[in-house]
Amino acid sequence: MKNDQPEKEKTGGNYPYYPLALCLPIADAVKSLGNGKTPVSKSLLASILKENERSQTLTFKIASAKSFGLIEGRSNFLLTEISKRYYFPTDQSDKQNALLDVLESPPAFKKLIERFDGSKLQPTEILGNILHREAGVPQSWKDRVAVSFVKSAQFASAIDEHGYLRVKASREGQVSDLSPTSEAEIEAIETGIPQPQITRHKRIAGQLNANSKDWSQTANGRTIYLEYPMDINSQEWEDLNRQIQRIKPKEKNT
């Protein structure tokens, strides 16, 4: 019987545990330590990433990087051919197309791309149900993996400003004005703490919500505007306060 264990060690799982933005540092470290040619051990990865070698976090990030097709191996890791195109492009389109190939590498993500490319993405709850029923993602992971897909597609410049999935168009350089993944959003995905859905509106005139109050302040040529319903409840306040705390400026050392 043919021993196919080495091939199994190279391949990643059906879906990543983390979004692409959190997996690229794994490939960055493999590239940095191995110069794209020398295998890199897990212990070296843990050292450069300042992670516990036996932590579940590092294990899941490595598994996710393998699912994305960024690295291959089990105890020692190398860059894949896709990663080599990303890190060592030979023409202007190489890097972006390699990133799109990375996005399509997890079989669960490829299923969503085949279904929605060129159309508007459904809410993450629906995407999660599709992943669960059609791509074998466990129920306990389906919503997190759905959010991870959306954030990964944004990172790969494959979602336009109207929420349409544009993988094919992105390969042709036709997608722009994307909403990047913020540090707060990445933190929410990594920790599993859900964020309230936020819709950004262009303010023209009048208030966005009926029966609402507002507060504004103008300084340094910029205006900060806050509008909130008069009957704001405790859960809405908690969501609002969480967002405010996330954008609180960090104190500078004097």
Burial of 140 (0-12, 13-18, 19+ CB in 10 A): exposed
The answer to whether the CB of 115 falls within 8 A of the CB of 130 is: yes
Query: Cα separation of 124 and 60, whole Å?
Result: 22
Cα–Cα nearest to 109, from 64, 173, 74, 172: 64
Q: How big is the CA angle at 243 (ends 238 and 248), to the nearest 5 degrees? A: 120
Residue 133 has a pLDDT of 96
Q: Which residue type occupies 1?
A: M
Whole-number Å distance between alpha carbons of 241 and 238: 5
Bridge partners of residue 165, in order along the sequence: 159
- Model confidence over 178-224: pLDDT tens digits? 444 444 544 444 444 444 444 444 444 444 455 556 666 655 556 57
* E-only strand ranges, 140-243: 212-219, 222-229
3.40.1800, 1.10.8, 1.10.10, 1.20.120: CATH of 8-87:
1.10.10
What is the per-residue pLDDT for 251? 64
Q: Cα 231 to chain center, whole Å? A: 35
State the pLDDT at residue 12: 57
Tokens of 232: 């704001």
Range(s) of the chain covered by CATH 1.10.10? 8-87
Q: What is the pLDDT of residues 231-247, one digit of tens each?
A: 777 777 777 777 777 67
pLDDT less than 50: residues of the chain: 1-11, 176-183, 185-208, 254
